[in-house]
Amino acid sequence: MAKATRSQLLLVMGLLTIALMAPPIVLGMSGQFGLASVFVYGGIIGISAIFYDLRLALILSVIAGVAGTICTLLNPYPLAGAAFFGILTGACALTSRRGLHSPALMVPVFASFLLVAPPTVPPLSAIPTAFVAGAVLLVGGLWGTAITRVLLGHRLPSVDRKKLGPRGATAYGVIMGVVLGVAAWAVLSYAKFHEGAWLLLTLIILLQPSPHDTFTKSMQRLAGTLAGALIAVVLILINVEQTFALVIGGFLIFGALTVRYVLKRPYWEYVTVLTPAVILLSASGVDRVRVAEDRVGFTLIAAAVALLITLGVKAILVRRAPTTEST
């Protein structure tokens, strides 16, 4: 089959973005901006996973729905919430043995928002809201999977899987579980507001199986986040209405997908476009300027933590490396 042209890819990305954002915009127009963001989270999980495997996308959508419900229920309990989130993240990281950790880790990435700052669904109480949020996350994942399959059919591009050995995958899973468990406890205890989830999200993305990849991605993400936050502040100062903010967020998601998958630009450029999109989509009902500021702050903290862990891992590897005599 002939390789798709850039124009064809742009058309597909545009249609995919429109299809993804249509239900959230309807939810936003009905006043459910929190659930609109949750739907987008699920959609991104489904879209990310289907490029690896259709069955994986369906499984992760279901896991996301269940995890989202549990995270929402555990919000008032820092220790239990941290333990569950650490186990969830560690289990997803263990899929690195099959090279599936990138899509699998999207589940805790977006579940972190439900753990730290669950959406409100008036007039429902906390327990029914948790099940509604989980269901919306599940439906969003299935929707993202379905629209991608319909638009691309069997022409889904293959994704290279970077598999780890048993020991490497186990070490990665343990590190991710412990670090994210501790971070989740700290956020639930001392920063239980929406922006606190940025610390968890950023740590998951920055902590890569390879120390070199962690360092490179940390630097690029830091640069992209700073540039994207400046763009977000400009958009925020315009003071757009919430429904229109969802529309702008959708356009920015299209831009991010284009930069990443069509133009094949560096990672920091992708983050630059994605950052204002996520801020606009996830900051409904809260101070968006504070969201932008806290995203930068928590990115700095997460980058520092990731780099410290990288240096520690590198030090251990150097000490365990066999010594050779010079000749």
**Does residue 291 lie within any of the structural domains?**
yes
**Does residue 325 lie within any of the structural domains?**
no
Put simply, whether the predicted model's pTM sits higher than 0.85 gets the answer: no
Confidence (pLDDT) at 42: 96
**Does residue 34 lie within any of the structural domains?**
yes
Average pLDDT over residues 61-65: 98
Full 3-state SS string of the chain? CCCCCHHHHHHHHHHHHHHHHHHHHHHHHCCCHHHHHHHHHHHHHHHHHHCCCHHHHHHHHHHHHHHHHHHHHCCCCHHHHHHHHHHHHHHHHHHHHHCCHHHHCHHHHHHHHHHHCCCCCCCCCHHHHHHHHHHHHHHHHHHHHHHHHHHHCCCCCCCCCCCCCHHHHHHHHHHHHHHHHHHHHHHHHHCCCHHHHHHHHHHHHHCCCCHHHHHHHHHHHHHHHHHHHHHHHHHHHCCCCHHHHHHHHHHHHHHHHHHHHHCCCCHHHHHHHHHHHHHHHHCCCCCHHHHHHHHHHHHHHHHHHHHHHHHHHHHHHHHHCCCCCCC
Confidence (pLDDT) at 85: 98
- Reported as a single tens digit per residue, the pLDDT across 113-156 is 999 989 989 889 999 999 999 999 999 999 999 998 998 876 66
Confidence (pLDDT) at 56: 95
pLDDT above 80 for 298: no
Residue 299: both structure tokens together: 């990115």
What is the chain's mean pLDDT, rounded? 83
Average pLDDT over residues 43-61: 92
- Reported as a single tens digit per residue, the pLDDT across 236-266 is 667 666 777 778 888 888 888 788 777 778 8
**Does residue 186 lie within any of the structural domains?**
yes
**Does residue 327 lie within any of the structural domains?**
no
Count of the separate structural domains present in the chain: 1
Q: Which domain holds residue 163?
A: 6-320
**Does residue 124 lie within any of the structural domains?**
yes
Confidence (pLDDT) at 214: 64
Confidence (pLDDT) at 325: 41
pLDDT above 90 for 224: no
Residues, the chain: 327
Tell me the residue type at 223: A
**Does residue 283 lie within any of the structural domains?**
yes
